[in-house]
């Protein structure tokens, strides 16, 4: 997860948006409390989203979030787990940007590599909630 959390979460947001289920992880689709039928439907859909999330993870990671009661809880747990990793990643990327030199590279090659580092840094800040 440390190496691919950003890519994984972006892919999951796309997949969940396509399926109209992103609200289960971002908290905008809340469990209904007034009607039993609606609450049961919400539970089924939340379980479906939890299944998708867990199926997309490596076993050690999925085991660490299997206790979560909802898709939103899994999402927040993963976000918490990755936040520590993101700080370390950001430190390494910032150092790489600071130390990056053109040397004998062509300007286009130098700029492309530098822009890749900037994009990687920006992706850490652009992780969806």
pLDDT value, residue 26: 94
Burial class (CB within 10 angstroms; exposed 0-12, middle 13-18, buried 19+) of 44: exposed
Residue 80: pLDDT band with limits 50, 70, 90: confident
Range with the poorest average pLDDT among 16-20, 33-37, 100-104: 100-104
- Interhelix angle 36-55/71-99, nearest 10 degrees: 40
Q: For 8, how many CA atoms within 13 A lie in the half-sphere containing its CB?
A: 17
Domain boundaries, position 96: 5-125
| pLDDT for res 84 | 62
In the chain, the largest separation of any two C-alpha atoms, in whole Å, equals 68
What's the structural domain count of the chain?
Answer: 1
105-117-122 Cα angle (round to 5) = 155
Rounded Cα distance between 77 and 46, Å, is: 16
What is the token pair recorded at 21? 């289920």
Nearest Cα to Cα of residue 9 among 31, 25, 29, 20: 25
């Amino acid at each position: 997860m440390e190496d691919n959390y950003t890519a994984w979460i972006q892919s999951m947001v796309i997949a969940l948006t396509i399926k109209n289920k992103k609200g289960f992880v971002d908290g905008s689709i809340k469990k209904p409390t007034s009607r039993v039928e609606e609450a049961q439907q919400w539970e089924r859909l939340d379980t479906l989203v939890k299944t998708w999330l867990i199926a997309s993870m490596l076993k050690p990671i999925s085991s660490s979030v299997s206790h979560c009661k909802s898709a939103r809880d899994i999402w927040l747990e993963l976000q918490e787990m990755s936040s520590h990793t993101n700080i370390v990643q950001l430190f390494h990327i910032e150092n790489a940007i600071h130390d990056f030199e053109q040397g004998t590279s062509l300007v286009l090659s130098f700029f492309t590599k530098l822009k890749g580092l900037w994009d990687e840094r920006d992706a850490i800040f652009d992780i969806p909630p």
